[in-house]
Structure 1
């Protein structure tokens, strides 16, 4: 059975290969320095990024990271689900749905107006889940990299 709980310092060795798998899935690169910074931010109660881990029989099988920000269209804050990853061998087990539900419940408890996230159009497996638990808004994502 999948259990979801906040990340703890002892989770680093289990989180790290999942994080690397996530970065690889998106065919990207993140330096070791940034990975270390991300981990420290996830554990810092003063930093506005949060994380949780999904475990199945004690084994870490996925994670979720999210942050809260003010909004111009709402008095209540929004929750941005920035990273979500489930190990390939446990996809379809309900871990992804449980991680999203964890963030959604956290957002309710913190009086947020909504939870939202992005994914690639080609991420068909994840989008099948997302289409069941959320509303596809039809927005298209653009960005300008600033070389940092």
Structure 2
């Protein structure tokens, strides 16, 4: 599959929102609609903390998306890159779209002075984990969360 990875533009809003909503369904998550709209606005804001890339096929169809952000760490002088959201259309999985999006984040992070890219996934995401095992090292960390 021939794909092109680029940053988002304002005209990508509806296509990105469709992928965002499919991503939420995949993870069995329910969020108020304004969260997706706010995420989009923060991502396309040149001063925003969220960044992203889209994957477009040869026909110009958006087939995948990734979002990421940087944060400081007490474990070193360089910022870390958190790959936050990654989603590809089901019919394109296994064709290199996810890998290309991850590699685009790797390149951006290196160019921006980050020393690490990391992410989380759910246990049931077997297809994703098969890819992740090829492009990164699985760590032994367990996530804890508390809503405030």
How does the TM-score come out when normalised to structure 1?
Answer: 0.96
Q: Which residues in structure 2 correspond to 1:32-47 (within 5 Å)?
A: 32-47=33-48
Per-residue deviation, residues 60-114 of structure 1 (Å, max 9, x unmatched): 0000000000010010000000000001011011000000000000000011010
Aligned-partner Cα distance in 1 for 2:53–2:110: 16
Q: CA deviation at 1:30?
A: 1.6
Q: CA deviation at 1:128?
A: 0.2
How does the TM-score come out when normalised to structure 2?
Answer: 0.96
Partner of 1:104: 106
Q: Structure 2, unaligned stretches of length 5 or more? A: none
Partner of 1:92: 94
Q: Which residues in structure 2 correspond to 1:1-148 (within 5 Å)?
A: 1-57=2-58, 58-146=60-148
Aligned-partner Cα distance in 2 for 1:47–1:69: 13
Aligned-partner Cα distance in 2 for 1:113–1:71: 10
Which shifted more, 72-81 or 9-18? 9-18
Q: CA deviation at 1:51?
A: 1.0
Per-residue deviation, residues 39-70 of structure 1 (Å, max 9, x unmatched): 10010011111011001111100000000000
Aligned residues: 146
